[in-house]
Amino acid sequence: MRRDYRGKEAESVRAIIDGDIQDINESDILLVNASRPSWGTAMEVFFAASKGSLLIVTVCPDEKPSPWLIGHSTIIKKTFSEAFNYLISLRDTPFQA
């Protein structure tokens, strides 16, 4: 997070959403922390998946992740270590959505 709106969320709604959309639009990879439910994270994953061109690597320790999370993630890993190792393994491989 490059921006910090803690305590100012209510008056920063548009700035938060626009900033998140800009970050996603400028990214090739979305690394998702899905360790607990979050409306914001869910919306970001959905938006990123709708672009169809991002690699969406989701970290979710749940034994049975939501079908929505499964369906909108490129891959789900249980830990950040597994996610980082996966990303490192792709270093020399171009991603095709």
- Give the tens place of pLDDT for each residue, 43-91: 999 999 999 989 999 999 999 999 999 999 999 999 999 999 999 999 8
Query: End-to-end distance of the chain based on CA atoms, in angstroms?
Result: 25
The neighbouring-strand residues paired with 57 are 31, 75
Domains with residue ranges and CATH for the chain? 13-89 (3.40.50.450)
For 1-56, how does the pLDDT look when each residue is reduced to its tens digit (9 = 90+)?
Answer: 578 898 998 999 999 999 999 999 999 999 999 999 899 999 999 999 999 989 99
Q: Rounded to 5 degrees, what angle do the CA atoms 20, 42, 39 make? A: 90
Residue with tokens 């061109």: 53
